[in-house]
Each structure stands twice: as structure tokens, then as C-alpha cells.
């Protein structure tokens, strides 16, 4: 289960010198940093072929030894909705509203920090925030407008109880709506988390409309249709040991087109029941909660002494343009992007990073565009920082003994990475293969996993060591007898779980007017309070 952040700070209200009582100090309520529907319940983290020999990098205290892989569970169609829930909770958490319970302010977030993407290019959104909490006995409320290109996303949240060790998600409601400047709605949804004794009820509804100008939609199934809604209603033990859930996908134009999934799990197994548009059972499966198929989605790179390779191939930050508007910048050694579209002498010479650090930038005067046009190896340099080129691995052969294949390739087969690299945060070059066309959400898997401790040599002849850092686990199918007590009827009979319609979406406050914020300086950047 993802680590829950508990952040508290006092927001001091003014008090008169002649008052006989001290005014209440209003404290913000924290929110969960994310959520898992069904957590990884295996006894240990997956290693997928750890090395079995001694080398210097395996010594106690090395970065290689200390770094631990993060694993996450993929549970068929339920995982799609939970990924959205996870991102929404992370965005709310990184507004730092728990530290600013009553204010109007600007926040900037790289949304990639809230997803499992391995992209090294930031996805920046600008958020206008208004938070309010009347007293320490009242909910913590926030209203958010965040913009990206021509889209404007409204989010309302109300936190009633913050997370605790016995109630890891707290109690809250979140409503969101996505529209363009033409007020055409594309996404609407809501999330409600409530506590009932030792159980947590998580309800999520999400409607999408990706049709062109309202024209008829297409899609062979409701979950890849252009105009549909999905819901997840779950009832989970707060310790993560057991739970029930119903997941639905419904075509909005024709509600008879739907797919429904019922999940019932205990500490060791997960039962899944699939239903078609006529609510007829089409398939049932029993899956292990302790045994998985696993694909590694990212690795760290180390030198042969076990020191983590710490290179910076790019930076992003913010600058103020000639019209005093806050803009975004992405700069690498050989390339630059500026949201204000500056070129030449108008390019910013100073940017501020997400942690508030100011960086001074100089540019190669011989480059005619925003890239290394003269091919001398440098477009930009940053004072006090070394920008590096990615580490390249071309025609690098990895022995079959260091590879675990996810497709039908014979065990022990060597593989040559034709074009690979490492950015300091992401290792690329492993191909993606189609495993099962029938499983829409599982078509793409990395062809193989590279064992921990594998040595790889770059184009300059330098040796490095790989270690797995992100592992996606998909529960393995087991005999149905293991799920004999995990019935679909138990899901149907649970009063806290119901089918949902689009009308169950909690709407955002349409009467809210986005406040004007004095100045252009974000108070929060990537969840960090700046001032």
C-alpha cells in the first residue's frame, strides 16, 4: 500500500490584544497521497532473478544495496479506475492544502509525479486554489481550477477526516469536471471515501465524452467507447485483508451496452466474475494474491562500486516573460522548450525549479534555434549544474541467463538492445510486445525483465549495473476451488455496494468564481510550500 503522508502545520489567525480568550488555531486536514484497491499481499517484494554472486556493489551500505523496488498490483478492469483515483488523490495531496487551510493561492504541479509514467518530460499544470476551514470541527474544503492548453479542469474537495493508521484513506469527497474554453464537457466524475466501522467504502464514478463535436461515438466495448461512464464501488477492510467491489462500464447513448465485473477477495485469493450486457455471467476466475506475473517498468543504474548514477539530463522550471506572465521551461544540454515561445535573446536567462531553486542559464550563441543546431554538443549551460547527455547503450547484448522473458521466447536466449539509454530517472530500450489481444488492458508488456545485478556497457565502454525499481504485478490464475467461499452473491448482498449511473456523479460548484490572485508567484510547486 502506498505510503500515506501526514502533514500538519498551524495556520495562525489574528487576535486582538484586548481579547480575554485565545482564538482557535485552525489546522488543515491531510489527505491520502494515493490508494490501492487490492494491495500486494505477498510475503516479500519480487526480485525476478536477483544476482547470486558477490561483487563490490553488493556490500552493505551501497546505494545498490539500500535502494528498494516499488511494486504495484494490476487487477484487470478495476485497475483502470483505481489508477484515476490514485492520480486524483495525489493531485489533491500535492496542492498542500493541509498546510494552507484558509487562503487563495497559485500551485504548480508536474502531473507525471502522480502517475507511473516513465516520461522524462514534465506535464505541467497551473492551479488556482481556494481553501477554507471554518474551525477544527469542520471539513477542510478546497476549490481548484487547473489549466492545461485550452482545457480547464474544476475540482472540489471536502476532507472530513484525515488518514490514520486504522483508517488509511480518511473520509472525503472529490468532484471534478473537465471542459474546454468552448464549455464542451469532456470528463466528469466524483470520488467518495467513507468509513463504516473497520471498513472503508470507496465509490468512484467517471464519465467521458471524447466524441468530435457531439457526433456518434464508436467503440467495440463500453470501456473503449468515446462516450461512456464507468464506476467502481468497493467495501474494503481498513487493514487491506479483504474486500468486495463492483466495476461497471456503460455506454451512455445505449445503456444496454455494458460490462460488469464483481470482485471478492481475502488475504490469499481474488475471485473475479465477468458479466455481459445482459448481466449473464461470461467468465469467472480465481487469482492468487501472493503469486504474480511480473514486468519491470523501470530500472536504476549504478557504477560497479554500487553508487547510484546521478546525472541530470534536463531541468524544468518557471520564468516570467516580458508581459509579466509566468511561463514554463524545459531545458536539456541540446534542446530547450519555452511555453512563451521565446527564441534568441528573448529566451529566459533565469528559471525557478519546483523546489524554489533559481538557475542561471546561458545559451550557445551559434545555435540559430532552440536546439543544438551547430552540433557542437551544447545548446545550454546552467550555472552550478552539469547537464549530461543520456547514457547510451547501442547494440548491447545481454546474456540469456540475465533475462526473464514475458513472451514465448525460449528461456536462456540472449537479447541485443539496439538502441537503449538512461536519463538519470528512466531506462529505455526494452521492446513492448503483445501478449493477449483479448485482454484489452494487458496487450502491452515489456518483452523481458533484466535480472538485478546485470552488467551493461555503454557506447564509451563504461560498465554499469542495473537494478529493478518499478514492478507491475498481475495476479496469477489458480484453481477455482481456492475461491469457493469468495462468491459473487456476497458482492450483490453487500448493501454498501450498488450499481451506479452517471446521475450519481457529485457535481462541482458551478457558482464558484475563480478568485484573482495577486502576483504570479506559485505558493506551492510540486507539493512543496514556497513561502
* 491: three-class secondary structure by DSSP: helix
Q: Compute the average pLDDT of residues 240-251.
A: 92
The reported pLDDT for the residue numbered 14 is 27
C-alpha pair distances (Å), 446 with each of 59, 204, 245, 293, 426: 30, 30, 29, 12, 14
pLDDT on residue 436: 55
> What confidence tens digit (pLDDT) does each residue in 96-110 have?
999 999 999 999 888
Q: Tell me the average pLDDT across 293-310.
A: 90
What sign does the CA torsion over 347, 352, 358, 359 have? Answer: negative
- What nine digits make up the cell of 292? 504474480
Rounded to 5°, the CA angle 201-70-407 comes to 100
Mapped onto helix, strand or coil, the DSSP state of residue 228 is strand
**Bridge partners, 302 (sequence order):** 308, 465
pLDDT per residue as tens digits for the range 342-375 = 999 999 999 987 666 789 999 998 888 899 999 9
Cβ neighbourhood burial of 439 (10 Å; 0-12, 13-18, 19+): exposed
DSSP 163: -
Per residue in 368-404, pLDDT (tens digit) is 889 999 999 999 999 888 899 999 999 999 999 999 9
- Looking at residue 219, its pLDDT comes to 65
Q: How far apart are the first and last CA of the chain?
A: 32
Q: Is the pLDDT of residue 149 over 90?
A: no
Confidence of residue 514 (pLDDT cuts 50, 70, 90): confident
Question: Which of 172, 246, 169, 220 lies closest to 3, judged by CA?
Answer: 169
pLDDT at 197 over 60: yes
The reported pLDDT for the residue numbered 148 is 61
Average pLDDT of every residue of the chain:
83
Locate 211 and state its grid cell: 466524441
Mean pLDDT, to the nearest integer, of 123-144?
A: 92
Q: Rounded to whole angstroms, how far apart are CA atoms 228 and 174?
A: 20
* CB neighbour list of residue 185: distance below 8 Å, 6 or more residues apart: 177, 178, 179, 209
Strand partners, 32: none
Report how far residue 500's alpha carbon sits from residue 233's, in angstroms, rounded to the nearest whole number.
Answer: 8
* Residue 91, SS3 per DSSP: helix
Beta strands in 387-481 (DSSP E): 391-400, 403-405, 412-422, 427-428, 432-434, 444-446, 448-450, 455-457, 463-477
Say how far residue 519 (Cα) sits from the centre of its chain: 30
| Average pLDDT, integer, range 151-174 | 90
DSSP 312: B
- The pLDDT score that the predictor gives to residue 441 is 40
* Strand residues in 98-239 grouped as ranges (E): 103-110, 124-132, 140-148, 151-161, 171-180, 185-196, 199-209, 227-237
Tens of pLDDT, residues 246-293: 999 998 888 888 999 999 999 999 999 999 988 999 999 999 988 887
Segment 438-475, tens digit of pLDDT: 333 445 788 999 999 999 999 999 999 999 988 888 88
User: For a pLDDT cut of 90, what percent of the chain falls above it?
Assistant: 48
Residues 6+ apart with CB under 8 A from 432: 444, 445, 446, 447
State the cell numbers at 402: 540475465
Confidence check: pLDDT of 47 > 60: no
Residue 304's φ and ψ, nearest 5 degrees, are -70, -10
The least confident of 35-49, 228-242, 364-378, 400-414 is: 35-49
Contacts of 222 (CB under 8 A, 6+ apart): 228, 230, 249, 250, 251, 257, 258, 259
**Quick one: pLDDT at residue 33?**
85
Model confidence at 73, in pLDDT bands (50, 70, 90)?
Answer: confident
State how far the Cα of 472 lies from the Cα of 429, in Å rounded to an integer.
18
pLDDT of residue 20: 47
Alpha-carbon distance of 11 to 13, in angstroms, equals 7
Amino acid at each position: 500500500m502506498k505510503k500515506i503522508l501526514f502533514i500538519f502545520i498551524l495556520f495562525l489567525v489574528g487576535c486582538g490584544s484586548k481579547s480575554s480568550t485565545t482564538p482557535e488555531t485552525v489546522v488543515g486536514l491531510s489527505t491520502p497521497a494515493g490508494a490501492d484497491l487490492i494491495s500486494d499481499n505477498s510475503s516479500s517484494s519480487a526480485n525476478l532473478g536477483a544476482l547470486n554472486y558477490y561483487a563490490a556493489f553488493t556490500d552493505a551500505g551501497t546505494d545498490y544495496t539500500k535502494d528498494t523496488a516499488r511494486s504495484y498490483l494490476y487487477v484487470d478492469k478495476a485497475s483502470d479506475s483505481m489508477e484515476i483515483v490514485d492520480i486524483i488523490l495525489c493531485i489533491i495531496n500535492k496542492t498542500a492544502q493541509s498546510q494552507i487551510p484558509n487562503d487563495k493561492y497559485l500551485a504548480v504541479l508536474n502531473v507525471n509525479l502522480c502517475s507511473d509514467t516513465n516520461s522524462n518530460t514534465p506535464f505541467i499544470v497551473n492551479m488556482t486554489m481556494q481553501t477554507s476551514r471554518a474551525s477544527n470541527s469542520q471539513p477542510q474544503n478546497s476549490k481548484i481550477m487547473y489549466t492545461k492548453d485550452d482545457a480547464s479542469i474544476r475540482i472540489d474537495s471536502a476532507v472530513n477526516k484525515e488518514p490514520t493508521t486504522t483508517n488509511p484513506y480518511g473520509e472525503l469527497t472529490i468532484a471534478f469536471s473537465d471542459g474546454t474554453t468552448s464549455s464542451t464537457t469532456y470528463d466528469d466524475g466524483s470520488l467518495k471515501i467513507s468509513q463504516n466501522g473497520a471498513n472503508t467504502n470507496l465509490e468512484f464514478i467517471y464519465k467521458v465524452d471524447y466524441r468530435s463535436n457531439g457526433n456518434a461515438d464508436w467503440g467495440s466495448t463500453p470501456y473503449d467507447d468515446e462516450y461512456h461512464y464507468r464506476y467502481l464501488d468497493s467495501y474494503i477492510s481498513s487493514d487491506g485483508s479483504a474486500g468486495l467491489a463492483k466495476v461497471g462500464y456503460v455506454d451512455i447513448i445505449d445503456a444496454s451496452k455494458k460490462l460488469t465485473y464483481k470482485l471478492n477477495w481475502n488475504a490469499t485469493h481474488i475471485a473475479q466474475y465477468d458479466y455481459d450486457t445482459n448481466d449473464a455471467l461470461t467468465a469467472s476466475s480465481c487469482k492468487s494474491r501472493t503469486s504474480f506475473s511480473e514486468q519491470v517498468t523501470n530500472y536504476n543504474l549504478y557504477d560497479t562500486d554500487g553508487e547510484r548514477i546521478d546525472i541530470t539530463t534536463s531541468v524544468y522550471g518557471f520564468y516570467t516573460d516580458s508581459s509579466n506572465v509566468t511561463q514554463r521551461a524545459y531545458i536539456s544540454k541540446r534542446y530547450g522548450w519555452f511555453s512563451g515561445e521565446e527564441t534568441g535573446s528573448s529566451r529566459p536567462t533565469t528559471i525557478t525549479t519546483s523546489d524554489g531553486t533559481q538557475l542561471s542559464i546561458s545559451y550557445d550563441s551559434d545555435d540559430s534555434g532552440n536546439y543544438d543546431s551547430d552540433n557542437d554538443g551544447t545548446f545550454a549551460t546552467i550555472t552550478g549544474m552539469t547537464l549530461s547527455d543520456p547514457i547510451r547503450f547501442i547494440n548491447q547484448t545481454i546474456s540469456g541467463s540475465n533475462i526473464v522473458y514475458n513472451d514465448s521466447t525460449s528461456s536462456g536466449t540472449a537479447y541485443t538492445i539496439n538502441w537503449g539509454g538512461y536519463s538519470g530517472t528512466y531506462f529505455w530500450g526494452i521492446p513492448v510486445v503483445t501478449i493477449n489481444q483479448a485482454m484489452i488492458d494487458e496487450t502491452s508488456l515489456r518483452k523481458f525483465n533484466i535480472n538485478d545485478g546485470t552488467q551493461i556497457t555503454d557506447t564509451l565502454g563504461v560498465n554499469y549495473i542495473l537494478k529493478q525499481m518499478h514492478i507491475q504485478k498481475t495476479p496469477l490464475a489458480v484453481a477455482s476451488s481456492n475461491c469457493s467461499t469468495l462468491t459473487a452473491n456476497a458482492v450483490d448482498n453487500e448493501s454498501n455496494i450498488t450499481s451506479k449511473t452517471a446521475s450519481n456523479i457529485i457535481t462541482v460548484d458551478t457558482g464558484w468564481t475563480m478568485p484573482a490572485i495577486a502576483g504570479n508567484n506559485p505558493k506551492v510547486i510540486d507539493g512543496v510550500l514556497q513561502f
